[in-house]
């Protein structure tokens, strides 16, 4: 009898949302990649993105996993990119993610799936990306996280204006602006 995940939800929980160490996700990658941990990690990220695409096409799986996607660590960045790839209505998916994020107690929120979603969305729809970032900068729940969301895409003139506007919001937190210090987002 072979033990292991039998459906997409179980696969996501095993690969993307492992309890404990991130190494579990890498260890779950098939052995044909050998012992090279970098290749296995890259494969785990590819698998996470593919699973995100599958979940985006399965409304029941998305609904079941949604609370876990905004509260866990794991391979949520590539998974969020996969959600973008497979979402039949990208704005509606974003709205569902944000709604679940807002329902989650602040101390349990994890923004990585949102960051992956924004990053993935920008590659194919920069106009919609600007729309959701415009909304994020005025959203009481998202504004503390706004700088880390903005930092995953190029910061153009609109991004600079949003960042300046976010500084005036009473829910803005100085720690979040550290995400901009690493560079790479300004083009």
Measured in residues, the chain has a length of 187
Q: What is the pLDDT of residue 179?
A: 86
Mean pLDDT confidence for 114-130 = 97
3-state DSSP call for residue 186?
Answer: strand
Can you give the pLDDT at residue 180? 86
Per-residue confidence (pLDDT) for residue 135, from 0 to 100: 96
For position 42, what pLDDT does the model report?
A: 86
Is residue 38 very low, low, confident or very high in pLDDT (cuts 50, 70, 90)? confident
Report the pLDDT averaged over residues 68-90. Answer: 95
> Residue 23: what pLDDT?
43
Model confidence at 54: pLDDT above 50: yes
Integer-rounded Cα Rg, in Å, for the chain is 17
pLDDT for residue 9 = 96
Give 93's pLDDT tier (boundaries 50, 70, 90). Answer: very high
Number of H helices, E strands in the chain: 10, 0
What predicted TM-score, i.e. pTM, was given to this entire model? 0.88
CA within 13 Å, CB half, 90? 23
Structure tokens at 28: 């779950």
């Amino acid at each position: 009898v072979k033990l292991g995940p039998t459906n997409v939800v179980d696969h996501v929980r095993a690969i993307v949302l492992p309890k404990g160490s991130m190494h579990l996700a890498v260890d779950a990658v098939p052995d044909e990649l050998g012992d090279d941990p970098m290749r296995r990690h890259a494969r785990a990220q590819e698998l996470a993105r593919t699973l995100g695409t599958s979940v985006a096409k399965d409304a029941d799986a998305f609904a079941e996993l949604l609370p876990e996607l905004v509260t866990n660590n794991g391979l949520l960045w590539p998974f969020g990119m996969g959600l973008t790839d497979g979402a039949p209505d990208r704005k509606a998916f974003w709205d569902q993610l944000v709604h679940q994020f807002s329902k989650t107690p602040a101390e349990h929120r994890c923004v990585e799936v949102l960051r992956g979603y924004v990053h993935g969305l920008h590659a194919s729809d920069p106009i919609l990306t600007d729309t959701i970032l415009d909304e994020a900068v005025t959203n009481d729940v998202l504004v503390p996280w706004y700088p880390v969301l903005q930092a995953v895409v190029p910061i153009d003139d609109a991004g600079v204006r949003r960042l300046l506007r976010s500084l005036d919001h009473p829910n803005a937190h100085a720690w979040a602006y550290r995400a901009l210090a690493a560079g790479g987002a300004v083009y």
